[in-house]
């Protein structure tokens, strides 16, 4: 089933997909999209798929950071000018 072909409401919900998942909608619009998702299983499945994708992405990119020796060097250089 292609969710965006389902109805005008589906199209409107899908246009706001990321705004909804990113919690960037006004409370009224968020409620309207949420209501549509409770009524439309095609859109609900599409939103859940995208939510899973964003969760995956967030977990993977956040796992990357500075290696410990890099951190040590950076902190040492940052404060060393201050030491007496």
Residue 72 sits in the site that holds another protein (CB under 8 A):
no
Among 22, 28, 39, 83, which residue interacts with another protein (rule: CB under 8 A)?
Answer: 22
* Residue closer to another protein, measured from CB, 38 or 49: 49
Residue 84 sits in the site that holds another protein (CB under 8 A):
no
Give how far Cα 8 sits from Cα of 30, 34, 39, 52, 60, Å.
17, 15, 14, 25, 35
Residue 74 sits in the site that holds another protein (CB under 8 A):
yes
Give the whole-angstrom CA distance, residue 53 versus residue 78: 38
Among 12, 28, 58, 83, which residue interacts with another protein (rule: CB under 8 A)?
Answer: 58
Give the whole-angstrom CA distance, residue 5 versus residue 35: 18
- Cα 57 from chain centroid (whole Å): 8
Here the tokens at position 34 are 């949420």
Binding residues for another protein, rule: CB under 8 A, are: 1-4, 14, 18-19, 22, 24, 45-46, 48-50, 52-54, 56-58, 60-66, 70-71, 73-75, 77-79, 82
């Amino acid at each position: 089933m292609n969710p965006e072909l389902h109805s005008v409401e589906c199209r409107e919900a899908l246009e706001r997909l990321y705004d909804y998942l990113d919690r960037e909608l006004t409370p009224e619009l968020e409620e309207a999209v949420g209501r549509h998702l409770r009524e439309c299983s095609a859109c609900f499945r599409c939103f859940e798929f995208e939510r899973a994708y964003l969760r995956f992405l967030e977990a993977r990119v956040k796992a990357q950071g500075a290696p410990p020796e890099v951190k040590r060097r950076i902190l040492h250089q940052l404060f060393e000018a201050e030491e007496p």
